[in-house]
Amino acid sequence: MKILVIDDERAIRNSLKEILMDEGYDVDTAEDGAAGCAQAGKERYDVIFCDIKMPNMEGTQVLRQLQEDGVETPVVMISGHGDIDTAVSCMRDGAFDFIQKPLDLNRILITIKNATDKANLVKENKILKKKVYGQQMIGESEPIRHIREMIAKVAPTDARVLITGANGSGKELVARSLHQQSDRSAMPYIEVNCAAIPSELIESELFGHEKGSFTSAIKQHKGKFEQADGGTLFLDEIGDMSLAAQAKVLRVLQEKKLSRVGSDKDIEVNVRVVAATNKDLKAEIAKGTFREDLYHRLSVILIRVPTLDERKDDIPLLVDYFAEQICAESGKPQRAFSPEAVALLAEKSWPGNIRELRNVVERLLILGGNPVSEQDVKDYVNA
C-alpha cells in the first residue's frame, strides 16, 4: 500500500514517514502543496496525508487541485491549528477525514484502514455497476441516433429483436439498452454466448438438466431460460448454435415452455428473447446451418449496428469516454488527447470496431505522453 505525506515541516514529514514505514507501508513525501500535486499526478496512492497550513499553497488548495486533476485517492487533512469549523470545511470540500496534531498512531492507522475500505467499496461499486448496467452507447452520429430511436420504440414492447453487426461493433450494448428501457428492467437480464459453449453442453446451459441425466449431472441445474424468467435472455452469436439446440429454442418461443435435459416435464417460462449475430443468417439458411423458421421467430424487429468506419464522427466522443473510463478504472489521474491525435485516430480504418478503438486508447494512455500527441499515435498505432 502506497501513502503520500504532504507537509512543509521536515520533522513531521520524516517522523510520519518512519512511523508508517514501520507499519509496513510504502511512503513518499512532498515538501509543499505544488510538489504534492505533481507527485499525486504521477503515482497512484492509496491514501494522501496533507497538512493544512503550508506556505504558497495551503492544504485546502491542494485538496481542490487534486480533485480538478481527477485524483480519486482519499485525502486526510492534518493540522496543529485545527478547529471544528476547519474540519467541517475540509470534509465539505471532499476530504476523507481530518486529524489534529500531535498525531496519534492508533488514530492514523484506523483512518488509513477506513479510507482504504471506502476506496475499495467505491471501486467494487463501479465494477458492479459496469456488470449490471454495461457501458453507455456513446455517439451522436446519424446511425447511432437512428438506433436510439428504434430502441425507444421497441423496448417497451415484448417484440423479439435480432441485432446484426460486425464483431466489436457494440451489439451487446443495444441488447442491454433494450432491457433497461423495457418493463422487464427490474427482472433478470441473462447473457449467453452461443459460440463459447460446446455444442454438447448448449442444451443443458439453455434449458437446464435433471440430476443424473448424464454422467457429470450431479445435481439439478436451471438453464438460462429459467434464470431469465420474467426478464430478458440475450442469445449472442446465435448463428453458431447447433441445429438441435435451434429446434428446442424454436419450441420455447412457440409454446413458452421448456423441458430440462433428462426430464419430460414441461416448465412454463415468460422470457423476452433478444438475439445477435455477426453472420449473414440468410446465407446460413441457404447452406442449411440455420433454421428459417427460427430466423423468422427471432427477427420481428431487425436492428443493424454500424461499423465504426460508418460512424467516424463519433470517434472523438468515444476517445474521451474511453480515456475517462480507463483512467477511473485504474485509479489514475485523468489524461487528455490532443486535437491532432484525435483527428489522426479518426482518419484510420477500424476493422476491429469499438473494441479495437478502446484497446488503442488504453495503449496510448500507457505509452503516450500527457496529453497524448499526434506523434504518439504515429509511434504506437499501426497504420
CB under 8 Å to 322, separation ≥6 — which residues? 357, 358, 361, 362
Q: Kindly provide the residue ranges of all beta strands, DSSP E only, lying in 169-237, ordered along the sequence.
A: 189-193, 232-236
Q: Give the chain's domains with CATH numbers.
A: 2-128 (3.40.50.2300), 142-306 (3.40.50.300), 310-380 (1.10.8.60)
* pLDDT at residue 383 in the model: 52
Residue 37: CB atoms within 10 Å: 23
pTM of the predicted model as reported, rounded to 2 decimal places: 0.65
Ranges of residues in the chain with a pLDDT under 70 are 81-83, 122-136, 215-216, 383
Cell of 351: 476493422
- Whether the CA torsion 333, 318, 312, 281 is positive or negative: it is positive
Peptide bond into 351 cis (omega under 30): no
Q: Which pLDDT tens digit goes with each residue over 161-193?
A: 999 999 999 999 999 999 999 999 999 999 999
- Classified as helix, coil or strand, 291 is coil
* Cβ(275)–Cβ(298) below 8 Å: yes
* pLDDT at residue 68 in the model: 82
* pLDDT at residue 134 in the model: 45
CA–CA gap between residue 382 and residue 136 (Å, rounded): 27
* pLDDT at residue 128 in the model: 54
CA–CA gap between residue 40 and residue 4 (Å, rounded): 8
Question: Whose CA is closest to 359, among 310, 308, 304, 291?
Answer: 308
* pLDDT at residue 319 in the model: 95
* pLDDT at residue 330 in the model: 83
Q: What are phi and psi of 232, to 5 degrees?
A: -125, 135
Buried b (16+ CB within 10 A) or exposed e, 338-357: beebbebbeebebebbbebb
Burial of 150 from C-beta contacts in 10 A (0-12 / 13-18 / 19+): middle
CA–CA gap between residue 363 and residue 367 (Å, rounded): 6
DSSP letter for 298, please: H
Give residue for cell 452469436: 237
